[in-house]
Amino acid sequence: MEVQNQTIENKSVQVEVPYDIIPLPSKGLLYPGKKPSLEVEYLTAMDENILTSPNLLQSGKFIEVLMKRKIRNGQVAHDDLLLGDRNSILIWLRATGYGEKYPVTIQTPDGLEIETEVDLTLLKQKELGAELR
């Protein structure tokens, strides 16, 4: 019996990750290039691992790691984002990755707890209240 050697080529495969264009509450006025929106990739199974990693959760770095992965290159760095813009992206990621309904428990002033759902797609953005000159 003759054994044949096989050569396995390691070819780099590029996969285009789907993304969407997310409008920023700040309209990008405070960023270089003043882009009013950012290209943000949809969540993947790999991102699910980030969101459930005990070490990343404990260190508090899971949002930083996730944002680095999801904001497409050549735009605004995640740590330069204004809080409202970052939150807008996180809400979009949550809605597109896990569904637009977000379960919450609301406590009334008299202590009664009410369970309900918030439709994340119906949240309104509060725009930056300043203009640059």
Q: What's the mean per-residue pLDDT of the chain?
A: 87
Q: What are phi and psi of 49, to 5 degrees?
A: -65, -40
Residue 8 pLDDT greater than 80, yes or no: no
Judged by average pLDDT, the poorest of 57-61, 94-98, 100-104 is 57-61
SS3 state at 129: coil
Judged by average pLDDT, the poorest of 32-36, 95-99, 108-112 is 32-36
**Binning pLDDT at 50, 70 and 90, where does residue 74 land?**
confident
Residue with the bigger pLDDT between 117 and 73: it is 117
Residue 108 pLDDT greater than 60, yes or no: yes
- Tokens linked to 19: 């993304």
Residue with the bigger pLDDT between 129 and 92: it is 92
**Contact between 63 and 81 (Cβ < 8 Å):** no
pLDDT for res 7: 61
Convert the pLDDT of each residue in 31-63 to its tens digit: 888 889 999 999 998 898 888 888 888 898 888
pLDDT above 70 as % of the chain: 86
**Binning pLDDT at 50, 70 and 90, where does residue 15 land?**
confident
Distance CA 133, CA 130 (A): 10
pLDDT for res 60: 85
